[in-house]
Amino acid sequence: MIKPHGADALNPLFVADQAKRQDLIEHAAQLPQAMVSSATAANAVMLGGGYFTPLSGFMNKADLMSVARNMSTSNGVFFPVPVVNLLPAADFAAGDQLALLDPNVDGQPVLAIQTIEAVEHVSDAELDEIASAVFGTIDRAHPGVNAFLSQGNMLVSGTVEVLNFSYFATEFADTFRTAVQIREEIAERGWQRVVAFQTRNPMHRAHEELCKMAMQATDADGCVIHMLLGKLKAGDIPADVRDASIREMVQHYFPPNSVMVTGYGFDMLYAGPREAVLHALFRQNMGATHFIIGRDHAGVGDYYGPFDAQSIFDEAVPEDALEIEIFRADHTAYSKKLNEVVMMRDAPDHGPDDFVLLSGTKVREMLGNGIAPPPEFSRPEVAQILMDYYQSIDDAA
């Protein structure tokens, strides 16, 4: 199986020993506490699950600035985005232990214990520099930029011991999986070549066929559909609805034992190219050998070019930085001429009228009115789940 990033074995920071974990939960009640941001809580979950291998905790300022500027830590470990605990204030010191409280669960339980390496101030100018490097903009209208710049200026670095997986393990018990668990299931299935597909949206016909194209092109044994379960921008479809629609599609339209439907506990950054590289790193750590990156991967609005998330691998990612291979996909749509879904770059003799193309706005309007998109665009079983969701919103309004 493919090696994890920067290590011979995964480095999950979740305290797996139940007795030790219970002792730490009791110990945490005696510690200073800090309510962390949703982004920091998601970082803790990802550290716990091994997705951030080889990191052992939250980055210090030297690593933060180095990752922003060079996509590597100060000691040379390739990493595309900062993994940090930023707070508005920090009355702590190096060597202290800190109980990190979960902002996304009722009662704000302790999510992790951090042993503090350093507490450092990050100026507004430095935060702007980091945001510009990671997101390509400091525009507060960008949801990822706004979330990052709203956390605070005090950087608390150090190792963490993760005590639970927040709401992901309870609300998405059938879907949430750590990198450790996915690697184990890949091994149990006997898969050697594995394609991973990232999604924060329901999967329509083009996404389905893209996974099949990638599996065929890479001679893969299986595909891991890996959906983001964390916080999204306003207007995106909730994770439980996406989960149900994807499972329905897989059940009806993929061969048995060819797809794993899984999810991970992370808040979307909408960082375009940098996040595409992070997504590739996640998938290498979970055991995939190939990762699909399509048009406008991890983008939002007009902040990135349609294929910036592919070109970054040529322009800014060192050749030996990651072992996972990238499957570069074009916009995919149903061809009326060929009566099948194709990548548009593979149909140079087609014009726009030769494809079934619907804007996201048009699709949402149709679904909200109880009208299923054409079967060339969306499988009827998927469309029904989405129609029920949009109509429930209208009924509640």
- Active-site residue numbers? 200-201
CB proximity list for 220: less than 8 A, separation 6 or greater: 191, 193, 194, 195, 214, 289, 290
DSSP-based three-state secondary structure for 375:
coil
**Burial environment of residue 144 by CB neighbours within 10 A (0 to 12, 13 to 18, 19 or more):** buried
Place of tokens 């726009």: 352
According to DSSP, residue 43 is labeled H
Specify the DSSP class assigned to residue 323. -
- C-alpha triplet 55, 231, 262: angle, nearest 5°: 70
CB atoms within 10 A of CB 72: 16
Q: Could you write out the DSSP letters of every residue in 148-166? A: HHTS-SEEEEEEEEE---T
Question: What number of helices (H) and strands (E) belong to the chain?
Answer: 13, 14
The DSSP line for 229-278 is -S---TTSPPHHHHHHHHHHHHHHHS-TTSEEEEEE-------THHHHHH
Other C-beta atoms lying within 10 Å of the C-beta of residue 252: 12
Pairing mode, strands 194-199 and 110-121: unpaired
Cβ atoms of 238 and 392 closer than 8 Å: no
Query: Taking the C-alpha atoms of 12, 287, 281 and 151 in order, what is their torsion angle to the nearest 10 degrees?
Result: -40
DSSP 207: H
Q: Which residues, including other chains, have CB under 8 Å from residue 374's CB and lie 6 or more apart?
A: 356
